[in-house]
Amino acid sequence: MAARPDSEDIAMDDAPTSHQPEVKDDTMVDDAGEDVEEEEDYEEEEEEEEVQRVKLLPGSTETAASFEFSNEGHTLGNALRYVIMRNPEVEFCAYAIPHPSEAKMNVRIQTFEGTTAIEALEKGLRDIQELCDVVTDKFVAAADDFEKKKAATA
Amino acid sequence: MPHKPPTKEELEKRKIVGVNLETVTDVSSTDFPGHYPGEDHAWDIERFKRGFSVEFHQNDPHEASFSLIGIDASIANAFRRIMIADVPTLAIENVFVWNNTSVIQDEVLAHRLGLIPFTGGREGLTDFLKWYRKPANGDPAECKDFNTVALELNVKCEHNENADPNETDPTKLYHHAHVYAKDIVFKPIGRQVDYFSGEDIIRPVNPDILIAKLRPGQEINVQMHMHKGVGSDHAKFSPVATASYRIMPTITITQPILGRDAEKFQRCFPKGVIGLEKVTAEEAAQKGSGYEGHEGELKAVVVDPKSDTVSREALRHEEFKDKVKLGRRRDHFIYLVESTGQWKSDAIFLESVSHLKAKAKALEKQLVNMVR
């Protein structure tokens, strides 16, 4: 690897030894706080108190960053990798599941100058949403057409 | 050197995965910016819209088949995975055994009950019913009308006094010798009557699923709680029996295959894939077509490549060497979705799309949070 004198990488001993959360079981605390909530809240708001599921991994710079997604897998990982790779501002994108028994998925994004890795990831997530809208529209239209044709021939 | 835009043939060729006798070629997609110098492959929703289409082959409540054309494998696979593992359904999660004197052990019985697919009013299942949150250790269960569906199964096997003395069939000799899914009774709580009554009642998809066999004196008395769950937690929550896709096969006949060879060629493929047509006078008159002097003979033509299994049998025979090319269309996915009955098959796919969208939306929000 080429030496980078102005590297923004953090020093070895500053980096955590593991990507496991340092505060053990912070989810437990959240749950305990929620128990106080009223029952209506439970019913109305099925989404739990949002836990931060996206993390920037140490060693990341503006244009070259690794993200850690908790509770995501190949389903989102590969789809996200694909749309991010379709971004011409992105030099490199890949995803990995470092260990099968940890529910974690990492995405590495390196961009050219002019944009940032975070922007590229955000655009990727937006692109997926747009794509889903198109798929839904076309699918519903095709299903309706098929129903009509079937009714016409019957 | 100025860049030449790709021709139509070139663009078509890029979509084909080659399936050869011993090898496969051009397996990965190449539609990324920078892959072909001078070409624009940036993601563009309008371009995607123009190139994407959906085609239905079958659309029944329990089975749907359709093609998504013009989409990448990574996205198609995400939909498939979500259909299997992330679309929520209602299934039996807890079984309270009051009495079970049958030969089926309690835990085996509970497992069997869990796997029975149930259905009911769609509105109640999607909108009214919410996730059940498992209480922390030691806390009492929070079973409410909006997160739990209660069922009961209470059957006792007894002698049938009216049975013929020479009868040997247990189902005639005894009452309730067989316990079926239809013996399970839905016990509505609270507002559930508004959503699950009449034809919307919570019921097994197939009433004739055999749960246990009893003999006189044996009985099963259990209460059950159903909760919403997802297939990634337990397969009983998966809304589909199978959700899979095949990639569209392509068969290209590059040189004429005639006469007896054509018939043999037809037999190399599943029924209906290859057709036989007579060589026309026009074709026979055409120089260099390979049909000269063969007017009236049979030639092999590709009729229905979709039904092909890509067995590569045709490639094993010397007489078809260099006359046929097999492949697959990288961006054409033929889905087969078989519902277990709680959802309509096409609704499962739509749900998978909206699930992926919701996922991306939630993570976009999280990303903004992270930056803040």
How far apart CA B171 and CA B203 sit, in angstroms, is: 23
Same domain? For B130 and B165 the reply is yes
Q: For residue A52, give both structure tokens.
A: 């931060």
Question: CA-CA-CA-CA torsion for B200, B201, B202, B203, nearest 10 degrees?
Answer: -100
My answer on whether B227 and B281 are in the same domain is: no
Q: Taking the alpha carbons of A93, A99, A100, A103 in that order, is the dihedral positive or negative? A: negative
In this structure, the answer to whether residues B111 and B205 fall within a common structural domain is yes
Residue B250 β-bridge partners: B327
- The two tokens of residue B231 are 């297939």
In this structure, what CATH number is given to the domain that contains residue A100?
3.30.1360.10
Q: CA-based Rg of chain B, rounded to a whole angstrom?
A: 29
Q: Is residue B55 part of a domain?
A: no
Residue A24's pLDDT band, with cuts at 50, 70 and 90, is: very low
Coil vs helix vs strand at A33:
helix
Weakly modelled stretches of chain B, pLDDT under 50:
none
Residue pair A37/B349 in contact by the 8 Å Cβ criterion = no
DSSP string, B90-136: EEEEEEEEEEE-SSS-HHHHHHHHHTS-EE--HHIIIII--PPPPPP
**Is residue B43 helix, strand or coil?**
coil
The residue type at B34: G
Q: Which of B273, B271, B272 is nearest to B249 (CA)?
A: B273
Q: For residue B13, is it within any domain?
A: no
In a domain, B271, yes or no: yes
* Structure confidence at residue A1 as a pLDDT band (50, 70, 90): very low
Q: Are residues B290 and B157 in the same domain?
A: no
**Chain A: nearest CA to B80, how far in angstroms?**
9
B221 shares a domain with B141 = yes
Measured between CB atoms, does B140 come within 8 Å of chain A? no
Residue A7 has pLDDT above 70, yes or no: no
Please classify residue B173 by burial: count the beta carbons closer than 10 Å to its beta carbon, then call 0-12 exposed, 13-18 middle and 19+ buried.
Answer: middle
Angle at CA B300, nearest 5°, toward B296 and B305?
150
Please give the structure tokens belonging to residue B99.
Answer: 């009495």
Q: How large is the ipTM?
A: 0.92
The per-residue pLDDT for range A135-150, each reduced to its tens digit, is 999 999 999 999 999 9
Cα angle: B240, vertex B245, B250; to 5 degrees: 160
For residue A104, the enclosing domain spans 52-153
Strands (E) across chain B are located at: 16-19, 24-25, 53-59, 63-69, 89-100, 118-119, 149-156, 158-159, 174-175, 178-180, 185-187, 203-204, 210-213, 219-229, 240-253, 274-278, 298-302, 324-339
pLDDT in tens, B57-74: 999 999 999 999 999 999
* B191 vs A: CB within 8 A: no
Choose, out of B40, B82, B131, B357, the residue to mutate when testing the contact with A (most A CBs < 10 Å).
B357
- CA B56 to chain CA mean position, Å: 14
- What is the spatial distance between Cα B353 and Cα B359, in angstroms, rounded to a whole number? 10
Q: Which long-range contacts (CB under 8 A, 24 or more apart) does B274-280 make?
A: B274/B300, B274/B301, B274/B302, B274/B303, B275/B300, B275/B301, B275/B302, B275/B303, B276/B300, B276/B301, B277/B301
CA neighbor of B252 nearest in space, from B319, B315, B309, B327: B327
Residue A37 has pLDDT above 60, yes or no: no
Size of interface A-B (CB pairs under 8 A): 141
For residue B288, the model assigns a pLDDT of 82
Q: Provide the pLDDT for residue B134.
A: 84
CB B116 within 8 A of CB B93: no
Residue A49's pLDDT is what?
57
Contact: A88, B33; criterion CB under 8 Å = yes
Q: Is residue B354 domain-resident?
A: no
Based on the fold, state whether residues B152 and B261 are members of the same structural domain: no
Residue type, B234: H
Rounded Cα–Cα distance for residues B182 and A131 (Å): 43
Residue B122: give the domain boundaries.
89-237
User: Can you give the pLDDT at residue A154?
Assistant: 79
Q: Quick check: A117 contacting B, CB < 8 Å?
A: no
pLDDT at site B141: 80
Give the percent of chain A with pLDDT over 90: 65
The pLDDT of residue B304: 96
Say whether both B222 and B305 belong to one domain: no
Task: Flag whether B198 is in a domain.
Answer: yes
Q: Examine the pLDDT at A64 and tell me if it is beyond 80.
A: yes
Q: What is the pLDDT of residue B104?
A: 96
Pair (B284, B312) in one structural domain: yes
- Residue A22, pLDDT > 60, answer no
CATH number of the CATH domain containing B303: 3.30.1360.10
Grouping H, G, I as helix, E, B as strand and the rest as coil, residue B201 is: coil
Per-residue pLDDT at A27 exceeds 60: no
- Does residue B217 belong to any structural domain of this protein? yes
Global pTM?
Answer: 0.87
Residue B39 domain flag: no
Judge if B184 and B310 occupy the same domain. no
Convert the pLDDT of each residue in B81-90 to its tens digit.
999 999 999 9
d(CA B328, CA B334): 12
Same domain, B136 and B218: yes
Inside any domain, residue B310:
yes
Tokens of A15: 């980096």
Check B369 against A50: CB less than 8 A apart: yes
Q: What is the pLDDT of residues A79-136, one digit of tens each?
A: 999 999 999 999 999 999 999 999 999 999 999 999 999 999 999 999 999 999 999 9
The DSSP bridge partners found for residue B9 are none
* pLDDT tens per residue, range B140-181: 888 889 999 999 999 999 999 999 989 999 999 999 999 999
Contacts with B34 from chain A: Cβ below 8 Å: 88
Q: Domain boundary at B322, B338, B360, which? A: B322
Domain-embedded: residue A44: no
Report the greatest alpha carbon distance in chain A. Answer: 75
CATH of the domain at B144: 2.170.120.12
Nearest to B179 by CA among B210, B224, B215: B210
Min Cα–Cα distance to chain B from A145, Å: 9
Amino acid at B197: S
How far is Cα A45 from Cα B304, in angstroms, rounded to an integer? 51
CA–CA min distance A49, chain B (Å):
12
Task: Please report the pLDDT score of residue A10 as a whole number.
Answer: 58
Q: How many domains does chain A have?
A: 1
Q: How far apart are CA A39 and CA B133, in angstroms?
A: 12
Q: Same domain, yes or no, for B201 and B265?
A: no
Question: Do B176 and B94 belong to one domain?
Answer: yes
pLDDT mean across residues, chain A: 81
Distance from CA of A23 to the nearest CA of B (A): 18
Contact status, residue B202 vs residue B120, Cβ threshold 8 Å: yes
Is A13 a domain residue? no
